Chains A and B, each alone.
Chain A
Amino acid sequence: MPNTETSGGGATLHPLHAILLAFPLALFSAGLISDIAYLRTAVIQWSNFSAWLITGALVFGGLVLAWGVIAAVFPRRSSRRRALAFLAAVAVMWLAGLINAFQHSHDGWPSVGALGLTLSILSSLFALIAAAIGYSSPSARGIVR
């Protein structure tokens, strides 16, 4: 276990936490792409893909979120402010994804529609933001504890 109190060059996230975040980052983005494919083709299988991708993103995203809550309460690897910023991004990502999972359970066109697409964009965007915070190291970004 590295001494996080003094290793200012370490990343914000524990390696395992970072690996877990990779799943929603990839799955929400893939869901966004298959949403776009559905809206362009009306081929329902794209919407089915999106539903599974979002579900998978929620499962892993839920673990990321839970870990993020613990990290914000007991900040060890980075400042509390940074941990909270990460948590907020993951929370938005996950909640938008949760609503989107329900949205994608609709039949036919509204399984995606304007709301589903918006939520997919939101989840993907906030997964990216969470990754940008989580994968950078505080010192490299000039943030001083």
Chain B
Amino acid sequence: MSARWIIVAAAALTLQACGRSDPGLDQTGAGKPPLPGQQETLLPPMKIATPKGWDGKTPTVPKGFSITPLATDLKIPRQMLVLPNGDILVAEGSGGTESKLRPKDFIAGYIKAKGKTKVKGGNRITLLRDADGDGKAELKTVLVGGLNAPYGLAFVDGTLYVADQDALLKFPFQPGQTKITANPQTVTDLPSQINHHWTKSLAASADGAKLYVGIGSNSNIGERGLDVEQDRAQVWEIDRLTGAHRVLASGVRNPTALAIEPQTKALWLVANERDELGPQLVPDYLTSVRDGGFYGWPYSYWGQNVDPRVRPQDPRKVGKALVPDYALGSHVAALGVSFASLGGFGGAFAQGAFVGEHGSWNRQDLSGYKVVWIPFAGGRPNGKPVDFVTGFLDGQHARGRPVGVAFDPAKRILLIADDLSNTVWRVAQAQ
């Protein structure tokens, strides 16, 4: 009898091998991506690309482009902001205050840490200046320190806005300044209990009147209870001067980056979708943000596809769930978005968005770990994503992991924050 059970157990334990990806399945682009059936294996498919140094190598860029490390030895660079004078601000840090609730949390934390840098987050904003345009920042200085896991950055009207993991802060600031000594003022507190998804993404509206903040969920799919999801998985619209906010969109599991599309001035975001439904569920997405829109989390994904793991279920909310505009692929972990403006790089890279894909753990065939280009026309996506910067992987190891991306139309360069090698990369057109 026990022998039979051993066989059953062994079969069950090897179930994770069933969580294989179909390599022919293309889950990118506008329109509904193919969504395979839900696979809840005993163990989720897992793969961690362990770190490996660049050893003098650089990421791969398309023909006609060059890439250089603008700055190295940062302390977990995440998002960046290009100032009107060309200076670059880099938010560095790592947040989250969640306690471990289950045995799984200890194991998952250990596994995920294997794919991350050992460096401690800087909790600061570093200013980079490359005035001579040689691709190396000759000035690298701490603009302001003592922050609490800063992530989103915006500059409007002589004021620098910083989205810490618990509050939206503002500093009086003039481009050219290399040090902020003034104390920050709080524009508004941001939801920060637990902070499972701690990053607070930030963008200013085109007219500068509003600030948008993306607030991630407090769990994968509500497994910490739905009461802790109050004010989570939302995009807030904040009045820049008063700090008053309203919920612009909800049901977005983790809106990791926000950006204004330059033609239509519409707000777009990239979001990370849920884990543990299989290696090819659920695709992360890029979408314009509809005012009042509900995007499904946690009850459903990609419109009305119900997630059976969430109880109590809410068919009424499922019925209202919007379909995102553009699929980026499952578990690519999109963490950065920046639109090409003022003609971009020209040619095939004139109109569209760059998306930084950090890569994730929940599939055995590594996906993401690159920066893709999404062509736009008339303010809407117009075609499949194109690999723009690759080479972050070397076999089963990762040399780098892209996070934030920032296009600077004045210099026609793209900046990429890499939080594994703690580098900011600079992509320029070759001379």
Measured CB to CB, the residues of A under 8 A from B are 42-45, 48, 51-52, 55, 87-88, 91-92, 95-96, 98-99, 101-111
Contacts and interface: CB of A to CB of B under 8 A. Distances in A.
A107 B309 contact: yes
Chain A contact residues, majority secondary structure: helix
Q: Which bucket holds chain B's interface residue count? A: 20 to 34
B35 to A, nearest CB: 19
Given A92-B2, A99-B42, A106 B9 contact: no
17 contacts: A44-B224, A87-B2, A91-B6, A95-B9, A99-B8, A102-B13, A102-B43, A103-B42, A105-B103, A106-B40, A107-B222, A107-B309, A108-B222, A108-B307, A108-B311, A109-B308, A110-B40
Contacts of B107: 105
B5 A92 contact: yes
A51 B1 contact: no
Given A92-B5, A108-B221, A111-B223, A51 B311 contact: no
Contacts of B42: 99, 102-103
B165 interface: no
Nearest to A41: B311
A99 B9 contact: yes
A51 B104 contact: yes
B101 A106 contact: no
A13 B134 CA distance: 78
Nearest to A49: B102
A110 B6 CA distance: 23
Nearest to A90: B2
Contacts of B276: 106-107
B311 A42 contact: yes
Interface in B224-246: 224-225
A99 B103 contact: no
A107 B219 contact: yes
A93 to B, nearest CB: 10
A50 to B, nearest CB: 10
B103 A101 contact: yes
Q: Most A CB atoms within 10 A — which of B42, B219, B221? A: B42
Nearest to A98: B9
B220 interface: yes
B312 interface: yes
